[in-house]
Structure 1
Amino acid sequence: MADRVVKVNDHGLRIGDDHPRAKLTDREVDHLLELRESDPEFWSYARLAEVFDISKSQAGNICRGKQRNQTAMDFATVHMP
């Protein structure tokens, strides 16, 4: 089986699209944030949620920096089955 290098935070926990429950890639999160910044009135949390197939609260949490806002502090190797 193959090993994989993943991003981790300062506690050694997987973050971003390397997190096992991540629904969006880091690139999709960047795009979501760019859309919201370009026209917040048009790109409401509800509209972003629909486009990216996530909940409205998840879209809001991403935009407000409550989720998906960590910077990779290191990398770790994990064994992939």
Structure 2
Amino acid sequence: MTLLVKTNEHGRRIGESHPRAVLTNHEVELMMELLDEREALIGEMEFNGARRATIHLQLHLRGLSYACLAAKFEVHKQTVAKIALGQRRCQTLGL
């Protein structure tokens, strides 16, 4: 069996190939879908004039707050925030 290691243009391991990776690439994709849903909900609620506390409550009730996503994926909420901001898992394998 051949194990493929994904690397960036500098030869550094990326994604689940990195030795310190906690999440699989599939889990990050699922999280990104939920983060997209979260952003759409925030945009819609802001457009309708919802207050910040109401938005936060709705995110929590729908399981889309950073804390809920962190619990779902068993990581720290700071990890979720960094993925959402593109500070983590921002490199992809160009095909």
Q: Answer yes or no: same fold by TM over 0.5.
A: yes
1:51 aligned to which of 72, 84, 89? 72
TM-score normalized with structure 1 length = 0.79
User: What CA RMSD, in Å, does the superposition of the two structures yield over aligned residues?
Assistant: 1.8
Compare the two structures and name the one with the higher helix fraction.
2
Deviations 1:12-69 (A, max 9, x none): 0110011111111111001001012113434111111000000010000001111001
Q: Name the counterpart of 1:31.
A: 30
CA distance in 2, matches of 1:10, 1:50: 33
**Is the radius of gyration larger for structure 1 or structure 2?**
2
Query: What stretches of structure 1 of length at least 5 have no aligned partner?
Result: 75-81
The answer as to 2:38 corresponding to 1:17 is no
Compare the two structures and name the one with the higher strand fraction.
1
TM-score normalized with structure 2 length = 0.69
Higher relative contact order, structure no. (Cα contacts within 8 Å, ≥ 6 residues apart): 1
Q: Name the counterpart of 1:7.
A: 6
Partner SS state of residue 11, structure 2? coil
Query: What stretches of structure 2 of length at least 5 have no aligned partner?
Result: 40-58
Partner SS state of residue 3, structure 2? strand
Stretches (4+) displaced over 6 A:
none
Paired-residue identity, %? 41
Query: Aligned pair count?
Result: 73
